Amino acid sequence: MMLSFWEKASFTEYDYAVIGGGIVGLSTAAALAEIEPGKRILLIERGALPTGASTKNAGFACFGSLTELLADLRNMSEEEMLSLVELRWKGLLKLRERLGDEHIGYEPVGGYELIGEQELNSIDCLEEMNLKLFTLFKQKIFSLHNNKIKDFGFNREYSKALVFNCLEGMLHTGKMMRALWQYTAERGVHMITGCEVRELHEQQGKIAISCTTLSQSMQFNAAKVAVCTNAFACELFPELDVRPGRGQVLITEPLSRLPFRGAFHMDEGYYYFRNVGNRVLFGGGRNADFVGETTTQFEVTPLIMNLLEEKLRNIILPNTDFKIDMRWAGIMAFGPNKQPIVQPHLTLPQVFLGVRMGGMGVAIGAMIGDSLANLMLHK
């Protein structure tokens, strides 16, 4: 694009640029602005709104259900499992502290896991897991609340136990992302939407960021660049081991009476539901079609939607008429293990990667933003 003298002088040169306006990109830009207030910081987002997972998720403020943590123990050491729990917990505290509970619609309602027949043996490990978590929280985290199964109206034949997590909560995803966007803008970060980064390369000691918008292509320059594009990271760097994982969600219309409140996990975390006022938000089912759900396409499929509706009708709301109001999908990022990638790029050392949040970016996003900002400041 042909730039004016003014545009070139005031809009194209930056100390730091962040690519991706999800929770990780915004948290990184916010942390950079907090630590280095006078610096020129640019955030580039290709969607009109952030368009990945951060505005599409279920708004769980959670750090791992009993069966999920037990599954983790089968795949990693106890230290690794505990350090992931700690990262999620600290990330949630950081998010709440930065934005304020009232601005993100945080509700400390606790989390539950609805245990079916196939997971019933996990109950035998509940106290042992409490002991392991005691080192972090200095309190008992999991307890059995089986008496609530009837009050909550769940299918009694399916629901063999209900495990309560006293420290979990939920938030309003839309409010949280608006508050984070506003917080970052108020600290002087220049934010551009509708602008897709196509290529990064070194040019005269800086990183040249080539972008396209609907009508034009243009170039920004920054001394250092953070790439926070999560599931889409391979579009810029195909060599990265990042696989997309779609999450499909539905929400009912408000019910005249909803007997439960809180954030619920089912089936090792593959299904999750919560109340939003008197509505039920229900998502998951990726495990029913891993191959089909390894995609960056923002679409819902009959297979997963039918599964969700069937479980909603038979297990969660067995005695209630409901209507589905909306359905949508968001795209997460997974890899060979649950560790996110937070590191300088191998061949472009002024470029820093903060991607592959493993479906836990609401919880860890604020901490990953801090780590990435500190890496950029000190390398």
Ligand X SMILES: Cc1cc2nc3c(=O)[nH]c(=O)nc-3n(C[C@H](O)[C@H](O)[C@H](O)COP(=O)(O)OP(=O)(O)OC[C@H]3O[C@@H](n4cnc5c(N)ncnc54)[C@H](O)[C@@H]3O)c2cc1C
The two tokens of residue 49 are 């709104």
Nearest Cα neighbor of 315 from 112, 148, 154, 153 is: 154
The torsion of the CA quartet 87, 335, 202, 181, rounded to 10 degrees, works out to -50
Distance, in Å, from the CA atom of 184 to the CA atom of 29, rounded to the nearest integer, reads 7
- Which residues, in sequence order, are bridge partners of residue 208? 201, 221
Shortest spacing between CB 357 and ligand X, in angstroms: 3
Count of CA atoms in the C-beta half-sphere (13 A) of 363: 22
Nearer to ligand X, 120 or 326 (CB): 326
Q: How far is residue 51's CA from residue 193's CA, in Å, rounded to a whole number?
A: 10
Cβ count within 10 A of residue 309: 16
From the CB of 160, what's the least distance to ligand X, in Å?
Answer: 23
User: What is the contact surface with ligand X in residues (CB under 6 A)?
Assistant: 19-25, 44-47, 50-54, 56-58, 60, 62, 196-197, 228-232, 235-236, 247, 249, 283, 330, 332, 357, 359-363, 365
To the nearest whole angstrom, how small is the minimum distance from the Cβ of residue 170 to ligand X? 9
Which one, 262 or 365, has the nearer CB to ligand X?
365
* Cβ at position 93, least distance to ligand X in Å: 13
Q: Give yes or no for a contact between 267 and 273, defined as CB atoms under 8 angstroms apart.
A: no
CB of 138 to ligand X, least distance (A): 23
Nearer to ligand X (CB atom), residue 24 or residue 312: 24
Q: Which is closer to ligand X, CB of 289 or CB of 320?
A: 289
CB of 150 to ligand X, least distance (A): 26
Cβ proximity to ligand X, 155 vs 212, nearer residue = 212
Q: With contact defined as beta carbons under 8 Å apart, do 346 and 220 qualify?
A: no
Closest-by-Cβ residue to ligand X is 52
**Nearer Cβ to ligand X (58/315):** 58
Amino acid type, 248: Q
